[in-house]
Amino acid sequence: MTADHEIHDTDDLIPLTPDRNIALELVRATEAAAIRSVPFIGRGQKELADGAAVDAMRAFLTTVEFDGRIVIGEGEKDNAPMLFNGEHVGTGRGRSYDIAVDPIDGTTLTAEGRNNALSVIAMSDRGTMLDASSVFYMDKLVTGPAGVGVVDIRLPVQENIRLLAQALGKPIDEMVVSVLNRPRHQQLIADIRSTGAGTRLMSDGDVAGGINAARHDARTDMCVGVGGSPEGIVTACAIKALGGHIQGRMWPRDDDERQRGIDAGLPMDDVLEAEDLVKGNNTIFVATGVTDGALVAGVKRQDGYLYTESVVLRGHSGTLRRISSDHLESKWL
């Protein structure tokens, strides 16, 4: 793969692609949020866990040399503490970016001590990220590169499984589809299994589910179903780097929410492609594990150190990097 490079504007010499140093600063913010969540893992206090993660992430983001605007903030669904929509982060100097944050994707997972909780930040150029915050849920379809131009969210899930299996050269009985384990998905789960494919039911954390379905070495082939609309935007930033396929449709829970979406200018009846969710390939996605999962390991405490694992995906270069860090625990007390 070609080495990363930065393109510069000849007028002001400001990078047109997110600087690698900014990506590393974002990692520091997700690491901090993950570490501050550790005392609350398995303690049944998801609001306290989220609050600690939010405070830690905000503190680090204020030091980053950029003008960041929160477009997708977490917390509106469950009245949790949040980095609020419209909040500006960073020093205010340098290029302007849209930011999506989820200090803990999987607060319930964290509170119950279960796998696949992440701390997440996604970034793209200012004005490129869809603000879907007025409608909390989105129906999504995510696959790896083999699904591009092959599957379509408008088709029955059984047909999409058959088409993707053919594109992958796999028997249908070896296909695995991730879906959130929710009452609203009972028929969807039955339809998936009716094809002979297997399901991987997720209790929470559909960002990780989507990314794992799009990775070239994934154990799952597709991620489908209704999850958070903020998570859909965040996932799209990652899919840009993985060359995968993502589609979404807004899923209002009632007429009032549908009207709020219309009033906000959201295309309520359209199928949203990756380019509708986040325009261009100038994206960064960063995630640090809070608890262990298929994407990254969770925070470990041992012999006076805190160990974290993070991933950085850059849409411009199409790279996924893993960053393992050792932190002196005494610095975090």
Q: What is the pLDDT of residues 77-108, one digit of tens each?
A: 444 445 788 888 999 988 999 999 999 999 99
Distance, in Å, from the CA atom of 32 to the CA atom of 331, rounded to the nearest integer, reads 11
Domain over 22-126+283-331 is classified CATH 1.10.10.10: no
Most confident of 59-63, 246-250, 291-295: 246-250
Residue 127: pLDDT above 60? yes
pLDDT at position 237 is 95
255 annotated as a binding-site residue: no
pLDDT at position 41 is 96
Q: What's the Cα-to-Cα distance from 291 to each of 110, 124, 223, 309, rounded to whole Å? A: 7, 26, 21, 10
Distance, in Å, from the CA atom of 274 to the CA atom of 138, rounded to the nearest integer, reads 13
pLDDT at position 14 is 43
Residue matched to tokens 């899923």: 251
183 annotated as a binding-site residue: yes
106 annotated as a binding-site residue: yes
249 annotated as a binding-site residue: no
Q: Going by DSSP bridges, is the β-strand pair 176-180/222-228 parallel, antiparallel, or unpaired?
A: parallel
Distance, in Å, from the CA atom of 333 to the CA atom of 331, rounded to the nearest integer, reads 6
Distance, in Å, from the CA atom of 111 to the CA atom of 74, rounded to the nearest integer, reads 17
174 annotated as a binding-site residue: no
CATH topology of domain 137-277: D-Maltodextrin-Binding Protein; domain 2 (3.40.190)
pLDDT at position 94 is 87
Distance, in Å, from the CA atom of 302 to the CA atom of 215, rounded to the nearest integer, reads 30
Give the mean model confidence (pLDDT) for residues 234-248: 96
In DSSP terms, 97 is beta-bridged to: 68, 125
Distance, in Å, from the CA atom of 16 to the CA atom of 80, rounded to the nearest integer, reads 35
Confidence band for 20, pLDDT divided at 50, 70 and 90: low
Confidence band for 1, pLDDT divided at 50, 70 and 90: very low
6 annotated as a binding-site residue: no
Distance, in Å, from the CA atom of 323 to the CA atom of 310, rounded to the nearest integer, reads 5
Confidence band for 216, pLDDT divided at 50, 70 and 90: confident
Residue 140: pLDDT above 70? yes
209 annotated as a binding-site residue: no
pLDDT at position 21 is 75
Confidence band for 5, pLDDT divided at 50, 70 and 90: very low
Give the mean model confidence (pLDDT) for residues 61-90: 76
Confidence band for 13, pLDDT divided at 50, 70 and 90: very low
280 annotated as a binding-site residue: no
Confidence band for 27, pLDDT divided at 50, 70 and 90: very high
**All structural domains of the chain with their residue ranges:** 22-126+283-331, 137-277
Residue 298: pLDDT above 60? yes
**Greatest CA separation for the chain:** 59
pLDDT at position 84 is 80
125 annotated as a binding-site residue: no
Confidence band for 288, pLDDT divided at 50, 70 and 90: very high
Percent of the chain as helix, strand, coil, to the nearest 5:
35, 30, 40
More confident residue, 11 or 214: 214
pLDDT at position 3 is 35
Distance, in Å, from the CA atom of 187 to the CA atom of 218, rounded to the nearest integer, reads 25
Distance, in Å, from the CA atom of 184 to the CA atom of 322, rounded to the nearest integer, reads 35
50 annotated as a binding-site residue: yes
pLDDT at position 206 is 87
Spell out the alpha helix ranges (H) of 132-205: 157-168, 186-194
